[in-house]
Chain A
């Protein structure tokens, strides 16, 4: 238990922001839920490092991609919810396209004979 579970669950560098934006695209979530959401949706493959998650959230908030709001969580605690701004949504769209291009390009390369 002492070691982090790093069985291939590290994120591809530079993709965290995009994943976060995607996570909140359908409604505001708090930080913990964002990490869980990414974990679940990746079929338990991707693990978001908490040490990187929150700085990333704050950075996105300061850049105006996310809007944060304090709310009450499902278990009745004060929690900070992050939601997508218009700017964030635009950015997410661009990132998505870029990622699709990039991943298919990598696929072409890897599958070539």
Chain B
């Protein structure tokens, strides 16, 4: 008996051929094609008219033209006739659809577990796709809310790294004058400004804007006027003006029209409000959404005591954009700028030794980039990560849809007998296929609806990953727009087509009557259609494996990043950022207040040590400068100002010499501490302690008093740079705003310490705004936020894919095994052991999983180049990671297959055969 079955199997395998597939596809095409129906209708009409014509020629002796005319007249109009026939078809189609939908809904209700699993996977897949796309839309795609945004461009200096977007004032002034390709060129720089209120000092987001800013953006104020070039002239402290946002106007001025002409004090500068911008205006940088716009020329006042404008070519501090003249393309503008750049650089920086990012006059040029979205740091930063995540969620969509397709196909084959019966009773093949398609359509529609409904919540959750540490930065606007809806529609269509594959491919079976003749429990029906379900399942496994390997690589890379030794102990370290720029102390008096702050903080319970630093490590700002040993050429090393006992507070080992002290004053002689890396460069052979180094081209000399271990400074991913530290008690720049570093006793909550520190400082001087607190762990985590976002999303989606794949393999095997109950019963009856049965049932799935894994691994290797740039110290072809991922997937596949197999091995042969 067993042998007979096997022989059948071989014969059926041969029968599976390409032709049946093509026929099936043709039939699907015919379903959607009305053309044939129309042609048939025309033929039928022509025949009818010809018969009548003949009759009239014979009976009434008319000529053929007249006979035809009479025939047509009797018909009462050809088009009317056709329309009446079409109506029949239409009415029928609607009736059918209603009936199909009702039947589909009934089928779905009858199998609640299947329906729930299908809807859950679709909801997850479509929801996450839509959510990620909403983010991509908000960050990368949404145009700036200004007229003709496509005419805007962002200027960039080349060749340069990410700083290419920062311009110096002299360069901008030259560009601003040139209206050859641009109607207006404008500059803007974000500033958090202090505004005095009855309750003390508050911070609001503001922007310094050049004279042509508003005329280039072409947005008119809702009240008053905007800033014009005549407002943006040097030396207008008394007449300084400001334009405010709609939000600021409502919150601070109660939307009163009397706001025009009112004076407000920003950073101790009095400005007059001259205009209110309309709601939704964000300026040229979508990420900022400033509340106040002030002329660029007020910068020296706003930034006092510094001045970026006065620093000239030395300060690259703001973004530049421009609006193209009508009819000028971006390429033409870029070519023009490139050709004129050299002359501009020669004019603004005549010194031959001028360098920007290490490039000379001859190498530097300005270029244009599309500015339809305005300048956006978020866009620059997230373009690549988002593309990767989008690719991951599309993989999830594939996995989910293929899973559904295989499940539907398995279920359809378990309904073979029902379908065959209906076919025999006269239902057309097209009707049956439509019925099956309606089911997947209904599922896809429900899934899309649920997915779209959950997407906004998911997107909101995701924005947490993008949240800026600056509380004044606006949250991302992710409200869906037309693009999001269009995308959802495309995803829904894709989901429908992919899930619809199931019934479509099913109909390729040549002979639906077979199951009735043969009974539904034999192998014949199953084996013939094994190929397609298996291909789809294997593809699902392959996509899932790609997701899992991608996510594991990102995860491993993140772990490696977290394990990087930073050279200090980040745990329990809190930074308090002070803003001293707007209070009146300077020099010694300022040092004294820092000392008072230290004393105050050190006395607080929960704090073990306190010191100060100018630029906190890994916080995003750093300082480099020339350092030399006497008589030698200078090296460009990293520099910083730190306070007494800084290294003890940081727990960076002091390798030799001593730390800075409060007693190190300008009078006691300049001192410096260098790290090991700097010592290797400056003093390769000697003990650095006691040696002398020179700063600022030899103008300042300092004694090296200590050597410390290396620590990370600018960038977590780079190796610890050579650094030279000066003391905050010496070489104090004007009103230096330092960060207090506070080491907390284990278990002390940073929140309580920060609150009491704020109170203590207000007691010292209420001119000083409360400090902004960040823990070192937050800073590191912020530095790794993109990687963490990618890894967590990747792992989440990999988990989803794993789950979906497991459910899919389990589900399909359950269906196919149920259909083989009779056969398995016979096998057991003739002596098959439980192990044999388990092996028999499992074999197919394990084969599918292995084939899928091979495919997935190959695909992962083929696409490894794409993910490599996201990884830190991790090879995208790492055999351990790839192997482990595949192993995990195979384990899930085997587990999912074992359950139905074990169930099958417990089949009671008597019952099984009787059932047959």
- Seen from chain A, the residues whose Cβ lies within 8 Å of a Cβ on chain B are 1-2, 4, 30-32, 49-52, 54-55, 58-59, 62, 64, 70, 73, 75, 77-80, 85-87
Contact = CB atoms under 8 A, between A and B. Distances in A.
A50 B84 CA distance: 11
A4 B80 CA distance: 17
B75 A31 contact: no
B70 A1 contact: yes
Nearest to B70: A1
Nearest to B426: A64
Contacts of B92: 59, 62
B76 A51 contact: yes
B87 to A, nearest CB: 7
Given A32-B48, A54-B45, A80-B47, 20 more contacts: A30-B47, A32-B52, A50-B74, A51-B81, A51-B84, A52-B84, A54-B44, A54-B48, A54-B84, A55-B84, A55-B88, A58-B85, A62-B92, A70-B40, A73-B51, A75-B54, A79-B47, A80-B43, A85-B426, A87-B426
16 contacts: A31-B44, A32-B51, A32-B52, A50-B48, A51-B75, A51-B80, A51-B84, A54-B44, A55-B84, A55-B87, A62-B88, A73-B51, A79-B44, A80-B43, A80-B44, A87-B426
A86 B52 CA distance: 31
A80 B76 CA distance: 21
Contacts, number: 61
Nearest to A65: B426
A60 to B, nearest CB: 10
B695 to A, nearest CB: 93
Contacts of B269: none
Interface string B422-451: 000011000000000000000000000000
A54 B89 contact: no
B514 interface: no
Contacts of A70: 40
A70 B48 CA distance: 14
B161 to A, nearest CB: 70
Interface string B58-98: 00000000000010011110001100110111001000000
A106 B80 CA distance: 35
Contacts of B73: 2
Contacts of B818: none
Contacts of A30: 47-48
Nearest to A73: B47
Interface residues of B, number: 25
Nearest to A85: B426
B304 interface: no
Interface of B: 40, 43-45, 47-48, 50-52, 54, 70, 73-76, 80-81, 84-85, 87-89, 92, 426-427
A1 B74 CA distance: 10
Q: Across chains A and B, which 7 residue pairs bring their CB atoms closest together, nearest first? A: A32-B51, A58-B88, A55-B84, A62-B92, A55-B88, A51-B76, A79-B47
A50 B47 contact: no
A50 B50 contact: no
Contacts of B74: 4, 50
Nearest to A64: B426
B61 to A, nearest CB: 14
A4 B73 CA distance: 9
Contacts of A86: 426
B235 to A, nearest CB: 87
Contacts of B47: 30-32, 73, 77-80
Nearest to A52: B84
Given A62-B89, A80-B44, A54 B81 contact: yes
A32 B45 CA distance: 10
Contacts of A77: 47, 50
A107 B89 CA distance: 38
Q: Which of B40, B47, B89, B427 has the most CB of A within 10 A?
A: B47
A19 B89 CA distance: 21
A86 B51 CA distance: 29
Contacts of A1: 70
B668 to A, nearest CB: 104
Contacts of A54: 44-45, 48, 81, 84-85
A49 B84 CA distance: 13
Contacts of A59: 88, 92
Contacts of A62: 88-89, 92
A1 B72 CA distance: 13
A87 B84 CA distance: 24
Contacts of B70: 1
Nearest to B44: A80
B96 to A, nearest CB: 9
Contacts of B80: 51
Contact of A50 (B81, B88, B427): B81
Nearest to B43: A78
Q: Which of A4, A31, A55 has the most CB of B within 10 A?
A: A55
B881 to A, nearest CB: 59
Contacts of B45: 54
A93 to B, nearest CB: 17
Nearest to B92: A62
A85 B48 CA distance: 23
Nearest to A63: B92
A54 B85 CA distance: 7
Nearest to A61: B88
A4 to B, nearest CB: 7
A73 B44 CA distance: 12
A58 B89 contact: yes
Contacts of B85: 54-55, 58
Nearest to A86: B426
A75 B43 CA distance: 15
A80 B89 CA distance: 17
A24 to B, nearest CB: 15
A12 B808 CA distance: 59
Contacts of A64: 426-427
B136 to A, nearest CB: 47
Contacts of B87: 55
Contacts of A52: 84
Contacts of A75: 54
A2 B69 CA distance: 11
B342 to A, nearest CB: 78
A1 B69 CA distance: 12
